[in-house]
Amino acid sequence: MAITIPSSSTFSPTVMSLIPLFYIGWADNLLSPSEIKTIHQGLSKFPNLNTADRKLLDQWCNPAKPPTAQLYKQWKNLLKNAAQQSTDSHKKNWLELGIEMAKLQSSNSPDTENALRELYETIGLNETSIPDSLYSKSQRQQFEEEETSSFSVPKMKSILDDEYEELRDQMRTLLSDPVLHADPEAIRTKADYREKVLEWCQLLADQGLGALSYPHANGGKDDMGSYATVFEMLGYHDLSLTVKFGVQFGLFGGSVLFLGTEKHHKKYLTDTGSLKLAGCFAMTETNHGSNVRELQTTATYDPSTDEIIIHTPTEHDSKEYIGNALHSKIASVFAQLIVNGEQHGVHTILVPLRNEKHQLLEGIRVEDNGYKLGLNGVDNGKIWFNQVRVPRANLLDRYGAISDQGVYTSPIENAGKRFFTMLGTLVGGRVCVPRAGLSAAKTALTIAIKYATQRRQFAPSPNEKETLLLDYPTHQMRLIPRLAKAYALDFALSYLGKRFANRSEADIREIETLAAGLKSYATWFTSDTIQECREACGGKGYLHENRFADLKADADIFTTFEGDNTVLLQLVAKGLLSDFKKEFHDEGYRAVLRYISSQMGDTITSYNPVFKRNTERSHLLDAEFHLDAFRYRERQLLYEVSNSIRDYIKKQFPAYEAFLKVQNEIIALALAYVERIVLEQFLEGLKTVKDDPCQKILTKLFQLYALSTIHEHRGWYLENDYMNGSKSKAIRQQIYNLCGDIRPHVKDLVNAFAIPDALLKAPIAMSM
Amino acid sequence: MAITIPSSSTFSPTVMSLIPLFYIGWADNLLSPSEIKTIHQGLSKFPNLNTADRKLLDQWCNPAKPPTAQLYKQWKNLLKNAAQQSTDSHKKNWLELGIEMAKLQSSNSPDTENALRELYETIGLNETSIPDSLYSKSQRQQFEEEETSSFSVPKMKSILDDEYEELRDQMRTLLSDPVLHADPEAIRTKADYREKVLEWCQLLADQGLGALSYPHANGGKDDMGSYATVFEMLGYHDLSLTVKFGVQFGLFGGSVLFLGTEKHHKKYLTDTGSLKLAGCFAMTETNHGSNVRELQTTATYDPSTDEIIIHTPTEHDSKEYIGNALHSKIASVFAQLIVNGEQHGVHTILVPLRNEKHQLLEGIRVEDNGYKLGLNGVDNGKIWFNQVRVPRANLLDRYGAISDQGVYTSPIENAGKRFFTMLGTLVGGRVCVPRAGLSAAKTALTIAIKYATQRRQFAPSPNEKETLLLDYPTHQMRLIPRLAKAYALDFALSYLGKRFANRSEADIREIETLAAGLKSYATWFTSDTIQECREACGGKGYLHENRFADLKADADIFTTFEGDNTVLLQLVAKGLLSDFKKEFHDEGYRAVLRYISSQMGDTITSYNPVFKRNTERSHLLDAEFHLDAFRYRERQLLYEVSNSIRDYIKKQFPAYEAFLKVQNEIIALALAYVERIVLEQFLEGLKTVKDDPCQKILTKLFQLYALSTIHEHRGWYLENDYMNGSKSKAIRQQIYNLCGDIRPHVKDLVNAFAIPDALLKAPIAMSM
């Protein structure tokens, strides 16, 4: 029996149930040919569709005849009517509204409902909430009060915390301790701030955290995975502390551990881990930062006294930006080793800097680097050595030693290979830095998202509440794709951490490439995200109390230290190119083609014109499409760059010049590689998630990361005819839709980062 | 007579002269069909081309048969030979090398030289220097020592300084005075820093700079143009001082000047201009920043005492971020005016805050906003009013007055119109802020470019000098397009300044739109550029002494204050949409088409498939193409957005919702409008340049700005089939080429900004 509806005509239950579909389809002009096809296919499965209804629905499907304003208004009134009948405490999605619409008229047949469900799910209407405007004012208020979530925050937290959940929780508690916090005014000058950070660092060492990665014999736990996790968690605290901690235990301690031998471990590691011995890592020089191989400091062996003489040749060759330079007693100094007049390349020598009274030793000069853009709690300085003598035993001699007879020996004959092997052992910094950076980005996202779900500005009409910032589409586009990327990076960096913890000789080069690439990609993400979040919080974001000031300033150097991102990406690309070259070296062009097609596997679809134009939702949201697009881009760039270089070299350009000529493309290639890895690892991570609601929202984040990245590169994809303009536009529409779908869950998604209020601090991120 | 050349065969002079063309063409695979056509046309003009030569050259043009490695090597040796014969003190371009090549073999005919010149100029080879690798080592060293410039730096400076060169030079001298500088350590705490900035501000006021825009009768010069120029120049100094100056003289003084009447001018302006009376501009509230119309502070007229009562209704409705809040004696308070129980919207009332002893008056509470991300020399604070009474005369009554009879009157009936008119008078801030921001960006560019032309890293081979950073293509792409954009913005903001200084009732709305758009576009450019420059200077960029720390932190709020950029761009778009609507209001679809085609004028070419695929250099560098592309994008977006909104409204969506649905596109439209204005004004500015060498390099900058912007939006252009993939790739190649062409002139181009060393300060920007 039909109820009274505000219209002149009466629709059958089936037609009623389909009105939401047409209402939304016509509203956003989504009725593309492929969608219409989908609707027709869906309709054929409805058991009780009579001829009149079929004819009516066909009319509604006709793209040449959009509904009249009257008809559209009638639909809207019917939908409002149905929505306002509801007494549910949660917002309906379009499918539920469709079912409600049918119920209003008569009892429902289960077959019809199944057909309806299938059709709506294909179009994705089971996942999108109906707009607020269909509800009454009182319903709207009610919904706002009880924001419900579809997934369990503790379960999501466990997924992110992974195997280190216990350690992470311990760190959350430890770092919330008031003793690890200071009033901002109290650490405004670098002297005060450095003092405080040194104190904090000692407290962490007292907890045994500094020595985690060292052998059991040297006071440690031989647990690199836990060390990296601690470093990541420090990223939620003060980044000066994070860096100070990393310099002392990771860089200085790491140089002793990885470049030294048993005798060095015994003598130094325990005191390093307890911070009884403060050390610094003296690699970078004023004139040589990226180009470490050309460091100018010399370490000359003097057989007459069995000592090594450390010397800075000119004023501009001082060590620079050396963290811990003012607090440390000893330095691991990177210098050109000269034995019997022969230079053996960069080696590392332990050089005491200060005596017990903390006075500089003879021949050593240290100068404060002064204030920096950020990280003013870290004491960076310059160091000069004037003919400083240390015993031969101070040479960290794992990869190059001087025998008792004063002869240089090394397990690695080739000087270049030796250099890269030594540097390779220090890759831990590049594994850790992006993780601390991601913590900083998550902090920024948490603050900006919490603010955007409380802050209102501008009302639809004079008597209504103002709109929440996060309900503005532009605001969603600023924050939600970045939230998705933070999740993606979480999985990818966790993968990198595991690969690093379990590394072997065989895969260390691959891990170096991975670390260099992810470090660059993730730290740029950090800078970009903090900046966007600051702006998204307007004036409030500019107040120091709301954290962006320090986050921005402190994390800014992450794109430069542990390897400048632009330089690192060139290393990444060179790694990819040399693998590529190896693969087909002497086989020529056909081998290349074979290689490409073997690597692309199922990407043949991409040459298919149907694929190129496919704008169906199911296709656009399909991980197979995403993987194909990411892999295609990487392979294509690899092939092009490789070809260009070969071409230039064939034309007598020196290799160096040939590389320069394609330098911009080389950077693009390296980033394409990283993005492909991130996508794959996000997908791999997703597969292991057991909890269904968590997997569902993670899938949305995955899709959003994938499509945002493709959209970011749409210029490239269109240039290369991988897709056409309509597909590119359809992808943009899906990005908007995904932002809308994820919108109700954003607060829970940042709550799953589980950053304690004591660390978050920002007043605007606290509930008012 | 042929000289001995290192090859088995001998080429004719004409062929010799063409070898550079083929060498470079084949090297970068630039021999596209259109280039080959150009070459054939060019060859037909050579008078003495015999059949054998013609045949040989045809072979070299065959894209199916690239030259063999031997032939290519032979070319290179011939070119090297010619290059190394040269005793010129400047680097040759390809045309000069071609002429040299011909000379080597015999005497030259002028006709041949003319034909050669014409051909090389068409391809642009007269503007590109030949690569260093063709020269000998000693030549290379010589060139490096004597970098010569093609244009006069003082002339370029005069072009940029425009009609205010004298004032700008005075400011350069004034701001270099040591009395206006402090040791960074001395202004580390906000208390010290604020004290210093107040002192400096007084010194500027003593020079008469604060009152410049005020009427002669009130101690001023009635010269808005000079005021804005002074503000811009302050952007080279300390941005805290810039903002403090703007708050006192521009915002507070401006509110008295533009919203008050004669009596207010008389009473307050002279003391404001001399800083005897420190004032603040109390508009923003904690809960209402962008949405000024809904400010909560009330100003209720009490007829019984003829007073106005200022009141902050709740704790969260305090005024916030108010600059000068701690130093000022008086505030211009924006509040809802209520007369006889009727609310008349936001009006401005002068409210004394403190007495002569600087004690707060009764009912007034002020709280320090504390440390901020930057601008810590400015005393921002919160202000609450508790039933504070001021005389009726304190109402700034130009647009709304209370008569002696206690009746509200206004020259503008409509409350909305009145509100926007009042705000419109305050647009000066939006005119000034982007100019100070541009000064900050120019400072960053100067530092990064000077560093990049001194700093070396990585050598081509062990015995060579390391490469200058700016000779890396990636480094060029980071800095040179931004340098071009800084020049573009210089012209555009200078245009805005002139429009503003000469504004009338008739064009004030247009100027508001212009100011809102340019403010957003320019301040985002500032943030982006400072960040990129910091990263481009690596570790050195992170040291406080090198300026990026303060530039980044201080300029960061420019994207938020004087109107949040995202909000402003929506205003811009609304302005464009309402003009568009006005144009065809009742005429319907055909009128729209007519409108579009009238506006697009000569853009019919864009529908032409030849145009879409045209990759010829002359076309890509043609301003007509650039104008067409920019205008096409703006019009197309305007049409689409307008259409979408109309569609939604037809479908019964409330206007507010319809706008939200296209909010992302609205932002794109507003930016497209700004970009078109910037391009046009750069071109207009170019036309007035009389000096030929300056015009030549400015033209390159114009082309680079144009093509970089088109390239940035290539996704959009490709989606919309405005160009095809090959054209997009060809544009990228032209961008690389332009960067290479401009590279030798970058140092002079930043020197033309004429920032005194005393202001630049950064040690890395000083010659070593």
CATH of region A279-423: 2.40.110.10
Q: Band the pLDDT of A599: cuts 50, 70, 90.
A: low
Is the pLDDT confidence value at B597 over 60?
no
Query: Of A26, A81, A34, A28, which is closest to residue A59 (Cα–Cα)?
Result: A26
> Any CB–CB contact under 8 A between B538 and chain A?
yes
Interface contact flag, A661 B538, Cβ < 8 Å: no
**CA angle at residue A447 from A441 to A450, to 5 degrees?**
130
Q: Band the pLDDT of A114: cuts 50, 70, 90.
A: confident
Q: Band the pLDDT of A3: cuts 50, 70, 90.
A: very low
Q: With b meaning 16 or more CB within 10 Å and e meaning fewer, what string describes B593-611?
A: eebbeeebeebeebeeeeb
Is the pLDDT confidence value at B687 over 50?
yes
Give me the pLDDT at residue B444, please.
98
Distance in Å, alpha carbon of B571 to nearest chain A alpha carbon: 13
Q: Band the pLDDT of A720: cuts 50, 70, 90.
A: very high
Interface contact flag, B289 A539, Cβ < 8 Å: yes
- Using one digit for the tens of pLDDT, what is the confidence trace for A255-280? 999 999 999 999 999 999 999 999 99
Q: What is the ipTM of this complex?
A: 0.91
Question: To which residue do tokens 């071009």 refer?
Answer: B484
Instruction: Calculate the average pLDDT of chain A.
Output: 91
Q: Across the interface, which of B28, B133, B372 has its CB nearest the CB of A543?
A: B372
Q: Band the pLDDT of A604: cuts 50, 70, 90.
A: very low
Residues facing A280 on adjacent strands? A331
Residues facing B198 on adjacent strands? none
Query: Of A750, A697, A755, A721, which is closest to residue A609 (Cα–Cα)?
Result: A721
Q: Which has more confidence, B7 or B701?
A: B701
Interface contact flag, A527 B527, Cβ < 8 Å: no
Q: Band the pLDDT of A127: cuts 50, 70, 90.
A: confident
A 625-654 → B contacts, CB under 8 A: 647-648, 650-654
* Mean pLDDT value across residues B318-325: 98
- Using one digit for the tens of pLDDT, what is the confidence trace for B50-104? 888 888 888 888 877 888 888 888 888 888 888 888 777 778 888 888 888 887 5
**What percent of chain B is modeled with pLDDT above 90?**
72
Query: Of B456, B446, B447, B448, which is closest to residue B144 (Cα–Cα)?
Result: B456
> Any CB–CB contact under 8 A between A461 and chain B?
yes
- Using one digit for the tens of pLDDT, what is the confidence trace for A394-444? 999 999 999 999 999 999 999 999 999 999 888 999 999 999 999 999 999
Lowest mean pLDDT among A596-600, B72-76, B732-736: A596-600
Q: Which has more confidence, B105 or B297?
A: B297
Interface contact flag, A557 B564, Cβ < 8 Å: no
* Mean pLDDT value across residues A593-616: 65
Give me the pLDDT at residue B588, please.
57
Is the pLDDT confidence value at B148 over 70?
no
Report the CATH fold assignment for A429-760. Butyryl-CoA Dehydrogenase, subunit A; domain 3 (1.20.140)
Is the pLDDT confidence value at A8 over 50?
no
* Mean pLDDT value across residues A86-111: 76
Give me the pLDDT at residue A9, please.
59
Q: Where in chain B is the domain with CATH 1.20.140.10?
A: 429-758
Mutate to test the interface with B, among A285, A463, A664, A716 (most CBs of B within 10 A): A664
Q: Band the pLDDT of B611: cuts 50, 70, 90.
A: confident
* Mean pLDDT value across residues A130-134: 84
Q: Band the pLDDT of A513: cuts 50, 70, 90.
A: very high
Q: CA-nearest residue of chain A to B549?
A: A373
Is the pLDDT confidence value at B27 over 80?
no
Interface contact flag, A291 B466, Cβ < 8 Å: yes
Q: Report which residue type is found at A637.
A: L
Q: Band the pLDDT of B109: cuts 50, 70, 90.
A: confident
Which residues of chain B lie closer than 8 angstroms to A736, CB-CB? 664
Interface contact flag, B728 A720, Cβ < 8 Å: no
Nearest-angstrom CA–CA distance, A333 and A317: 13
Interface contact flag, A725 B720, Cβ < 8 Å: yes
Is the pLDDT confidence value at B667 over 90?
yes
Is the pLDDT confidence value at B481 over 60?
yes
- Using one digit for the tens of pLDDT, what is the confidence trace for A207-224? 999 999 999 999 999 999
Query: Of B602, B604, B606, B582, which is closest to residue B592 (Cα–Cα)?
Result: B582
For B529, residues 6+ apart whose C-beta sits below 8 A from its C-beta are B441, B444, B445, B482, B485, B486
Q: Band the pLDDT of A148: cuts 50, 70, 90.
A: low
Is the pLDDT confidence value at B147 over 80?
no
Q: To which H or E segment does residue B367 belong? A: strand B364-368
Which residues of chain B lie closer than 8 angstroms to A284, CB-CB? 539
* Mean pLDDT value across residues A177-188: 94
> Any CB–CB contact under 8 A between A6 and chain B?
no
Give me the pLDDT at residue B8, please.
44
Handedness of CA B469, B471, B474, B479 (dihedral sign): positive
First to last CA, chain B: 49
Lowest mean pLDDT among A362-366, B3-7, B48-52, B372-376: B3-7
Interface contact flag, B654 A460, Cβ < 8 Å: yes
Lowest mean pLDDT among A50-59, A144-153, A336-345, A418-427: A144-153
Give the rounded distance of the alpha carbon of A382 from its chain centre.
33
> Any CB–CB contact under 8 A between B708 and chain A?
no
Which residues of chain A lie closer than 8 angstroms to B475, CB-CB? 566
Lowest mean pLDDT among A130-144, B72-86, B410-424, B608-622: A130-144
B 131-170 → A contacts, CB under 8 A: 131, 133
* The two structure tokens encoding residue B96: 């000069």
* DSSP state letters, A54-102: HHHHHHHH-TTSPPPHHHHHHHHHHHHHHHHH---SS--BHHHHHHHHH
Q: Are A338 and A299 in contact (CB under 8 A)?
A: yes
Q: Where in chain A is the domain with CATH 1.20.140.10?
A: 429-760
B 197-236 → A contacts, CB under 8 A: none
Interface contact flag, A541 B560, Cβ < 8 Å: yes
> Any CB–CB contact under 8 A between B461 and chain A?
yes
Burial classification of residue A120, based on how many CB atoms lie within 10 Å of its CB (0-12 exposed, 13-18 middle, 19 or more buried): buried
Mutate to test the interface with B, among A652, A727, A734 (most CBs of B within 10 A): A652
Q: To which H or E segment does residue B422 belong? A: helix B415-424
Q: Which of A96, A127, A562, A680 is catalytic?
A: A562
Q: Are A520 and A437 in contact (CB under 8 A)?
A: no
Q: Where in chain B is the domain with CATH 2.40.110.10?
A: 279-428
Q: Report which residue type is found at B607.
A: Y
Give me the pLDDT at residue A650, please.
84
Q: CA-nearest residue of chain A to B470?
A: A660
* Mean pLDDT value across residues A147-161: 89
Lowest mean pLDDT among A13-22, A270-279, A380-389, B561-570: A13-22
> Any CB–CB contact under 8 A between B464 and chain A?
no
Interface contact flag, B560 A549, Cβ < 8 Å: no
Interface contact flag, A557 B542, Cβ < 8 Å: yes
**What percent of chain B is modeled with pLDDT above 70?**
93
Q: CA-nearest residue of chain A to B561?
A: A539
* DSSP state letters, A442-483: HHHHHHHHHHHTT-B---SSTTSPPPBGGGSHHHHHHHHHHH
Is the pLDDT confidence value at B1 over 50?
no
Q: Across the interface, which of A369, A718, A736 has its CB nearest the CB of B718?
A: A718
Give me the pLDDT at residue A2, please.
35
Q: Are B283 and B334 in contact (CB under 8 A)?
A: yes
Interface contact flag, A69 B651, Cβ < 8 Å: yes
Q: Which residues of B are catalytic?
A: 562
Interface contact flag, B69 A26, Cβ < 8 Å: no
CATH of region B429-758: 1.20.140.10
Nearest-angstrom CA–CA distance, A140 and A133: 9
**The CATH number fitting domain A157-273, selected from 2.40.10.10, 3.40.50.10130, 1.10.540.10, 3.40.50.1100:** 1.10.540.10
Is the pLDDT confidence value at B13 over 90?
no
* Mean pLDDT value across residues A123-139: 82
* Mean pLDDT value across residues A242-251: 98
Distances A201 to A242, B74, B524 between C-alpha atoms, Å: 9, 65, 38
Lowest mean pLDDT among B86-90, B130-134, B271-275: B86-90
Which residues of chain B lie closer than 8 angstroms to A524, CB-CB? none
Distance in Å, alpha carbon of B323 to nearest chain A alpha carbon: 12
Q: Where in chain A is the domain with CATH 1.10.540.10?
A: 157-273
Q: Are A370 and A357 in contact (CB under 8 A)?
A: no
Interface contact flag, A725 B718, Cβ < 8 Å: yes
Interface contact flag, A729 B714, Cβ < 8 Å: no
Distance in Å, alpha carbon of A246 to nearest chain B alpha carbon: 18
Q: Across the interface, which of B184, B531, B539 has its CB nearest the CB of A289?
A: B539
Distance in Å, alpha carbon of B485 to nearest chain A alpha carbon: 20
Q: Across the interface, which of A29, A466, A542 has its CB nearest the CB of B557?
A: A542
> Any CB–CB contact under 8 A between B70 and chain A?
no
Known active-site residue A545: no
Q: Across the interface, which of B373, B527, B549 has its CB nearest the CB of A542?
A: B373
Give me the pLDDT at residue A132, please.
81
Taking CB atoms and an 8 Å cut-off, how many pairs form between chains A and B? 233
Burial classification of residue A717, based on how many CB atoms lie within 10 Å of its CB (0-12 exposed, 13-18 middle, 19 or more buried): buried
Query: For residue A413, how many other CB atoms are within 10 A of its CB?
Result: 7
For A697, residues 6+ apart whose C-beta sits below 8 A from its C-beta are A150, A151, A156, A742, A745, A749
Mutate to test the interface with A, among B379, B543, B671, B722 (most CBs of A within 10 A): B543
Query: For residue A710, how many other CB atoms are within 10 A of its CB?
Result: 25
Give me the pLDDT at residue B602, please.
45
- Region of A358 on the Ramachandran plot (φ > 0 left; ψ -120 to 50 alpha; else beta): left
Q: Which has more confidence, A528 or B118?
A: A528
Give me the pLDDT at residue B3, please.
35
Interface contact flag, B189 A184, Cβ < 8 Å: no
Query: Of A530, A435, A500, A33, which is closest to residue A234 (Cα–Cα)?
Result: A435
Distance in Å, alpha carbon of A19 to nearest chain B alpha carbon: 14
Which residues of chain B lie closer than 8 angstroms to A711, CB-CB? 715
* The two structure tokens encoding residue B668: 């794109």
Q: To which H or E segment does residue A352 belong? A: strand A342-352
Distances B717 to A675, A715, B639, B667, B712 between C-alpha atoms, Å: 25, 9, 15, 17, 10
CATH of region B279-428: 2.40.110.10
> Any CB–CB contact under 8 A between A566 and chain B?
yes
Q: Where are the alpha helices (DSSP H) in A662-691?
A: 663-687
Q: CA-nearest residue of chain A to B726?
A: A719
**What percent of chain A is modeled with pLDDT above 70?**
93
Q: Where are the alpha helices (DSSP H) in A185-278?
A: 190-206, 224-234, 239-245, 253-259, 262-264, 270-273
Q: Which has more confidence, B67 or B749?
A: B749
Give me the pLDDT at residue B30, please.
60
Interface contact flag, B321 A715, Cβ < 8 Å: no
> DSSP class of residue B295?
-
Q: Across the interface, which of B374, B539, B714 has its CB nearest the CB of A320?
A: B539
Q: Across the interface, which of A549, A652, A719 has its CB nearest the CB of B73?
A: A652
Q: Band the pLDDT of A602: cuts 50, 70, 90.
A: very low
